[in-house]
Chains A and B, each alone.
With several copies, the nearest count.
Chain A
Amino acid sequence: MNNKIRCAGFGGQGIVLMGKLLAQAGMMEDKHTTFFPQYGAAMRGGTANCNVIVSDDDVASPMVETPDVILIMNGPSLDKFEPVVKSGGWIFYNTSLIDREVERDDVQVVKVPANEIADEVGSTRSANMVMLGAVAEKLGVVKVDTLIKALDVTLHGKGEKLMNLNREAMKRGAALAA
């Protein structure tokens, strides 16, 4: 099962939101789920990453030591998490900001030009949504539809314009990975 996920990137890239949305969607699909931001040593200006588990069974440990899937939004995060992903696991990475290739050959790689697609949609800040759409479509951790519903809960109260952009970005990510 591809249920242990780690999302990572720069501080401002909405990494925590990615994790929350996955967990929210997981819950809406009646799954067991935990979300835990790695806040430990991170300071202002640092990098952000979080642990998400979406599972049919009870979640014992919320720590994702050996992720099945990593969602990587920037270069330093790829350097950090490429080595720990499970053999046979998945690396989704943002080719807009990362110009190197994945080195491991025992993992499956999905390249997502997240910023570029987000730019096309009209909002660079929605790059994280593109990534989510891609992983949902590709691996079915949660359904894209549920993710879109989760948006309404998690971003409750944000303007409709932003919501539309986010939805659109997710769909584009999904389309890319289909």
Chain B
Amino acid sequence: MSDRVLMKGNEAIGEAAVQAGCQCYFGYPITPQNELTAYMSKRMIEEGRVFIQSESEIAAINMCFGAAAVGMRTMTSSSGPGISLKQEGISYMAGAELPMFFVNVMRGGPGLGNIAPSQADYFQCTRGGGHGDYRTVVYAPSDVQELYDYTFLGFDTADRYRIPTMIAADGILGQMMEPLVLTEYKQPTDLPSKQPWQLGDPSTQEPIWMTSVHLGEGKLEAHNLKLQKKHDLIEANEVRYEETMLDDAEIVIVAYGTSARVAKAAMLKAREAGIKVGMFRPITLWPFPNPQLNALADRIDNFLTVEMSLGQMIEDVRLATCGKARIHLHGRTAGGVPVEDDIVDQLKKILASKGDEIIRNF
């Protein structure tokens, strides 16, 4: 454990991006992800790569569009309000099938809200807050090491499928420090060293047309069905999750990010109190681990979704489990972080309840 460094989550993402060969970063300051932008401003320039503090989040995402189009590994980051502003651009990149990696360090919303940690952008992340039929791959790490590791994966997945990928982290993950092993990035061998789509490359012969606009009858529909195939493929191949203490579990907590960490502590407490509880942690929020949860629901009657939002991920848990189990909600919002004992209490209440009753904590 000797080559560990103590690092802030935001900075771990930044360092991982640098290691992963991120060539262009464009961003605009916003709490609680400022350390990431600041870190990139230093490291990217040290490495002779591109860093711009853009005039706005909208400019940043469109700079990403440009840089990705000329074949660069490209990145941006922000928090709720800024990510909302990027929605048009994200939709454009998805439409033009341009890879990009971006980060939302979530804070309290709606509106200006506050700068406290939150997971309330779940819908926005997983359903595409922008317009049209598209998806982005969403990773939800739950410690600093995972922030680092999934940044590598984020870039690779983006390139592999030509799709925007993102990390959805709550403010705690961005702000916390933990020991981190700075592993070395290795480019997967299936990824081309040069992107075939890059513009402005003198060595390509035919002019390239890079766009999200498809007029002409049926052209866009054909394009979207192609995207849909890609989405189906990602759903089949890219699901990630973690299972803990499920073997003898009678009730299962579903949680991600910091919520999952508190939930895990609560689980351990509850186990001490004799409750047979396990945990299922989705690491990809889209694609959501539907088959895995569905299979679990064959033998588990009660799930408790723990989230720092007022009932967003629970929809995916309900969709995954298809009515086979009761899905309960422990939701906090806007800086409220779940409390271990509250979760344990709710687990007890659920186990004591009967029939179809759904128990939520608010």
Contact = CB atoms under 8 A, between A and B. Distances in A.
Contact, chains A and B (beta carbon distance below 8 A)? yes
Interface of A: 20, 23-24, 27, 30, 32-37, 39-41, 43, 59-63, 65, 153
B116 A61 contact: no
B339 A65 contact: yes
A43 B31 CA distance: 12
Contact of B179 (A33, A37, A41, A62): A33
Contacts of A63: 172, 258, 262, 337, 339
A57 B249 CA distance: 23
Residue from the set B6, B179, B264 with the largest chain A CB neighbour count within 10 Å:
B6
Contacts of B339: 63, 65
5 contacts: A34-B178, A40-B117, A61-B262, A62-B258, A63-B339
A35 B264 contact: no
Nearest to B107: A40
Nearest to B220: A41
Which 5 pairs between the two chains have the least Cβ-Cβ distance?
A40-B116, A60-B265, A61-B265, A36-B176, A35-B177
A40 B176 CA distance: 13
Contacts of B266: 61
Interface string B26-68: 0000011000000000000000000000000000000000000
Given A20-B6, A36-B176, A41 B340 contact: no
A164 B258 CA distance: 38
Nearest to A51: B176
Residue from the set A23, A24, A27, A30 with the largest chain B CB neighbour count within 10 Å:
A27
Contacts of A36: 172, 175-177
B265 A41 contact: no
A41 B6 contact: no
Contacts of B215: 41, 43
A29 B264 CA distance: 25
Contacts of B265: 60-61
B109 to A, nearest CB: 14
A62 B169 CA distance: 15
Interface of B: 1-2, 4, 6, 31-32, 114-117, 171-172, 175-179, 215-217, 219, 258, 261-262, 264-266, 268, 335, 337, 339-341
B6 A61 contact: no
Given A23-B6, A40-B115, A40-B117, A60 B177 contact: no
A60 B264 contact: yes
Contact of A61 (B31, B178, B219, B261): B261
B24 to A, nearest CB: 29
Contacts of A30: 1-2
Nearest to B334: A40
Contact of B178 (A33, A37, A40): A33
A41 B114 contact: yes
Contacts of B176: 34-36, 62
A59 B6 CA distance: 14
A62 B261 CA distance: 7
Contacts of B115: 39-40
Given A27-B4, A34-B176, A40 B261 contact: no
Given A24-B6, A41-B217, A43-B215, A61 B177 contact: no
B22 to A, nearest CB: 25
B172 A62 contact: yes
A61 B216 CA distance: 23
Contacts of A60: 261-262, 264-265, 268
A63 B6 CA distance: 17
A41 to B, nearest CB: 5
A30 B3 CA distance: 10
A33 B4 CA distance: 12
A171 B106 CA distance: 41
Contacts of A39: 31-32, 115-116, 171, 175
Given A23-B6, A30-B1, A62-B172, A40 B114 contact: yes
